Amino acid sequence: MWQFSLYVLALAVASITHLVYRWRNPKCSGKLPPGSMGWPLLGETLQFFAPNRTWDIPPFVKERITRYGSIFRTSFVGLPVIVSTDPDLNHMVFQQEGQLFQSWYPYSLRQIYGKQNVSTLHGYLHKHLKNMMLNLFGHGSLKNMLSDIESVATRNIEMWVGQGTVELKDATADMVFGLTAKKLISYDLEKSSENLRENFDAFLEGLLSVPMAIPGTAYYKCLQGRKKVMRILKNMLEERKQKPNKVKADFFDHVLEELKQANTILTEEIALDLMFVLLFTSFETAAMGLLVAIKLLTDNPRALKELTEEHEKILKERENLEAGLTWEEYKSMTFTFQIINETVRLANIVPAIFRKALTDIKIKDYTIPSGWVVMVSLPAVHLDPVNYKDPLDFNPWRWEGMGMKGASKNFMAFGGGQRFCVGADFARLQMAVFLHCLVTKYRWQPIKGGETLRTPGLQFPNGFHVKFFKKDYKMNQDPKSELANYPKQI
């Protein structure tokens, strides 16, 4: 009997050894990029999600670039992945959409964004939805939004002046979400019985966290937030169907009009997932971008001085000082666009973009097997010292003469190719207009917080607490003053 048991044990050990060997040495018709697949099933997931406080390339990626080069293999939660920090491969990934590569997101992200969200759709359906979104984010629509964005920015900053210390992370998120939700679904927090925005609080942290749907985890909070938002959107959809607006008031009206068409390819499930993703992505980039921009300007008085001079010049050249911003004035904000480019380059708000190989792909002596996922590491692109001298320095002057930068091999903060972010210009517009309203009329003073954490998404775990003043405000120099020991006013 003991001999049989020994045989079974030996067979089990041999089987496990074979499986581990096959795991660490995947099949490939050519030469796989170097790297490690980590532990079976778990892969190198924990190492990838390990938090760090640096603005530099994440340690997980940086260490492997040193060891393996700009293209290497790994595995996350049992998924074989090729990590690319190589400009040529990155360019190929974006330019060969639908031919060699296909947009792809991990199962955990699809559960949050929705199985029918626009990011995971392909071909004609994706193109159709993208054209619909241009009704909201196209050039003509943005020109019409300019005065609304300026009014919202002015109103919120004025409110912050009267509040004392403001936690800027939440304040910018509330401001940008309020504007975005109004344009998308006519949502008004003051008139609503539910706070829609608070359901998105844990999203950036949860989207790129270890996908464990256990109560208390960031991922679980993300899933619960999605359920609440989807319930609210579903109720709105039903109410609009019963009592439609006579005149199109928001993007939801355009979606409802499309759903009524006899030959439409849009379904209610796709429509609701679309609204959900737009609500999140269209405010998240601008809100985090503004937060990071103010933090960077706080630490760089020279850049703040030049930014202020640019916007004060706009006011000096304006015939009617009571008039609002014009589109021509917005387009003239050269240094502001440099600030925005540099901010999103350093922030790397979206730390990675995923694509799946549709066939075996040869690149630089390596083969990417069909079905494998390619993860483009944006921090490795944006912080490469070959392309950006002193890459960790906030240096908006490096963008001189480059205008409102789109996508290139070395700059892809808003993606690239066919899936270049439709809302990129909307985010830039909000950031530029807010900065105009801020630096022409107000000053601010950092109070506490401002520390960052990457998991790998960017977070401000302690917030960023700031006090705002009107420019004509004279600080109280009394040593007993509440502000006496605070840093110098910006």
pLDDT single digits (tens) 238-291: 888 888 777 777 888 888 888 888 888 888 888 888 888 888 877 778 899 999
Cα distance between residue 148 and residue 154, in whole Å: 10
Q: What is the mean pLDDT of residues 308-332?
A: 92
Report the interhelical angle of 334-347 vs 268-298 (nearest 10°). Answer: 110
Does 313 have pLDDT greater than 70?
A: yes
Per residue in 14-34, pLDDT tens? 555 545 556 677 888 889 999
Q: Across residues 138-154, what is the average pLDDT?
A: 91
Lowest mean pLDDT among 171-180, 390-399, 475-484: 475-484
Asked whether residue 482 carries a pLDDT value surpassing 60, the answer given is no
Burial of residue 151 (CB within 10 Å: 0-12, 13-18, 19+) is middle
- Cα–Cα distance, 145 to 428 (Å, whole number): 13
Residue 43, phi-psi category: left (phi > 0), alpha (psi -120 to 50), beta (remainder): left
pLDDT score at 369: 95
Average confidence score pLDDT of the chain = 84
Q: What is the pLDDT of residues 53-102, one digit of tens each?
A: 989 999 999 999 999 999 999 998 888 999 999 988 998 998 888 889 98
**Identity of the amino acid at 62:** K
- For 195-204, 403-412, 481-490, which range has the lowest pLDDT when averaged over its residues? 481-490
- N- to C-terminal Cα distance for the chain? 82
Q: Annotated binding site for heme: which residue ranges?
A: 421
Quick one: pLDDT at residue 333? 96
Instruction: Give me the sign of the Cα torsion angle 422, 423, 426, 431.
Output: negative
For 186, other C-beta atoms within 10 Å of its C-beta total 16
Residue 274 tokens, joined: 């679309």
pLDDT for res 347: 94
As a whole number, mean pLDDT of residues 165-177 equals 92
pTM (whole model) above 0.85? yes
Q: What percent of the chain is predicted at pLDDT more than 70?
A: 86
How far CA 63 is from CA of 1, 27, 46, 360, 475, in Å, comes to: 51, 25, 15, 27, 48
Question: Binding site, residues?
Answer: 421
Residues in the chain: 490
Amino acid letter, 335? F
Q: CA distances (Å), 100 to each of 80, 127, 157, 264, 368, in order?
A: 17, 18, 47, 29, 11
Residue 12 pLDDT more than 90?
A: no
Q: How confident is the model at residue 9 (pLDDT cuts 50, 70, 90)?
A: low
pLDDT at position 62: 95
Report d(CA 63, CA 52) in Å as an integer.
13
Residue of higher predicted confidence among 41 and 66: 66
Nearest alpha carbon to residue 37 among 48, 49, 26: 26
User: What is the predicted pLDDT for the residue at 22?
Assistant: 64
* Separation between Cα atoms, residue 31 and residue 373, nearest integer Å: 16
**Residue 364, φ and ψ in degrees, nearest 5:** 50, 55
Residues forming a β-bridge with 374: 82, 355
Higher-pLDDT residue of 263 and 451 is 451
Between residues 336 and 9, the one the model is more confident about? 336
Q: What is the pLDDT of residues 393-428, one digit of tens each?
A: 999 999 998 765 566 888 988 888 777 778 888 999
Q: Name the CATH topology of 29-470.
A: Cytochrome p450 (1.10.630)
Highest mean pLDDT among 18-22, 114-118, 475-479: 114-118
Which pLDDT value is given to residue 229? Answer: 85
Range with lowest mean pLDDT among 239-248, 283-292, 352-361, 451-460: 239-248
Q: Look at 78-87, 172-181, 202-211, 217-226 and tell me which has the smallest mean pLDDT.
A: 202-211
Joined together, the tokens standing for residue 230 give 């989807």
pLDDT at position 157 is: 96
